[in-house]
């Protein structure tokens, strides 16, 4: 499914701001803050970026991930495969991880507790390998 098709299903148009926000997220390998997205969207004001993200979140086009006090945005399924992240609190790098073991655990917990999981997030915060090798983190 394309972004245009998904928006049309909800009687919405693919405006230039929506296209730009979508393109910025599609081109990013890591989740981005609203500020990051706004800086990369030429000729789109910050309020339009925010409104677009709210619409995209409601339509499940993006996933919002809270890290600390900030929200980071990335495309959701079906635009990218389901995954989770390892976040470095030093360099703010977000490494996507896909792990069948975690998905199996979610299924197991769902069955064990007779709980219908409709959505889940799994994010680990820590220090990445590169940052651990700097003088600040070496022991």
- Supply the CATH number for residue 69's domain: 1.10.10.10
74 & 95 share domain = no
**pLDDT above 90 (res 25):** yes
Q: Summarize the annotated binding site for Fe cation as residue ranges.
A: 82, 103, 120
Q: Summarize the annotated binding site for Zn(2+) as residue ranges.
A: 88, 91, 128, 131
Q: Summarize the annotated binding site as residue ranges.
A: 82, 88, 91, 103, 120, 128, 131
Q: DSSP letter string over 76-117?
A: -TTTS---EEEEETTT--EEEE--HHHHHHHHHHHHHTT---
98 & 68 share domain = no
Domain extent at residue 93:
81-139
75 & 106 share domain = no
pTM comes to 0.78
In this prediction, residues 13-28 reach a mean pLDDT of: 96
Position 122 scores a pLDDT of: 84
């Amino acid at each position: 499914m394309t972004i245009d098709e998904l928006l049309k299903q909800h009687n919405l148009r693919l405006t230039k701001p929506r296209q730009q926000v979508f393109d910025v997220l599609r081109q990013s390998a890591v989740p981005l803050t609203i500020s990051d997205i706004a800086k990369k969207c030429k000729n789109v004001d910050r309020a339009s970026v925010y409104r677009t993200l709210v619409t995209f979140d409601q339509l499940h086009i993006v996933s919002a991930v809270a890290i600390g006090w900030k929200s980071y945005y990335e495309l959701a399924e079906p635009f990218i495969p389901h995954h989770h992240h390892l976040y470095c609190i030093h360099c703010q790098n977000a490494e996507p991880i896909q792990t069948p073991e975690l998905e199996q655990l979610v299924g197991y917990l769902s069955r064990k507790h007779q709980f219908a999981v409709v959505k889940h997030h799994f994010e680990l915060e820590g220090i990445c390998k590169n940052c651990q090798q700097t003088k600040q983190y070496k022991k």
